[in-house]
Amino acid sequence: MAAYAYWEHVWRSGAGQAWARPDRWVVDELALVRSQGARSTLDLGCGLGRHAVLLAEQGFRSHAADRAGAAVAATRDAARRHGVDVPVVQADMAALPYGQESFDFVLAFNVCYHTDRRGLRRTISEVRRVLRPGGLYAVTMLSKRNAEYGRGNEISADTFCQPDAPDDKVHPHLYANRADLVEFHDGFRLLQARDAEQSTPGSFHWQCLFQLGST
């Protein structure tokens, strides 16, 4: 099962309410994003739209994309309820329907690791294309310190599936260390990387902020 199909089911069932409130790290990063003069933003893999709405409320020209139709509908609905304008498209992270240098800031929270190394490289190349030179990219990636690293079938390098898992581990998850992050993000400068637990013990994810080089 592809990751977006799993999430489609979660969003449709109404079981994803833990994803309704903005994440603290994202909230805290916005001062820096603003200080860099960012105006146009993309929430890639927007889910229920919590961060896309936050960005719009904070005065950014906020756009959102997700491969799951239910996420697109939920984000449109959230924007309507909050009285903000957020153009939302249904799109795959590896094939974004935006022109070159469309955004000053791209956010991808718990999205880009739902693939293998090849898929991740395709996504990063799309982020590189749609970001303006000097633009910022905030992304979370699964850490090799995460308790799930190494569990299940290794379907390709550092990419695991757990076919019998009761949660989203049924689809591919790619894990990285700091050196991997730097290698994947060719053309970007790593400004911040913090390996921190999310909601449960052992749930280590990298919180990364990259800046696209100006060539």
Ligand X SMILES: C[S@@+](CC[C@H](N)C(=O)[O-])C[C@H]1O[C@@H](n2cnc3c(N)ncnc32)[C@H](O)[C@@H]1O
Contacts of 176 by beta carbon, 8 Å cutoff, 6+ apart: 113, 141, 142, 143, 144, 158, 184, 206
Binding piece for ligand X, criterion CB under 6 A, among 29-37, 39-47, 77-85, 149-157: 39-47
Query: x/- site string to ligand X, residues 59 to 78, per CB under 6 A?
Result: -------xxx--x-------
- Selected range binding ligand X among 106-114, 129-137, 148-156, 201-209, rule: CB under 6 A: 106-114
Does 116 bind ligand X (CB under 6 A)? Our answer is: no
Binding segment toward ligand X, per CB under 6 A, in 2-10, 128-136, 178-186, 190-198: 2-10
Residues in the chain: 215
- Element (H or E) spanning 186, and its range? none
Q: Which of 94, 69, 98, 20 is nearest to 108 (CA)?
A: 94
Does 47 sit near ligand X (CB under 6 A)? yes
Q: What is the DSSP string of 22-57?
A: --HHHHHHHHHHHHTT--EEEEES-TTSHHHHHHHH
Give residues in contact with ligand X (CB under 6 A).
3-4, 7, 19, 45-48, 50-51, 66-68, 71, 92-93, 109-111, 114
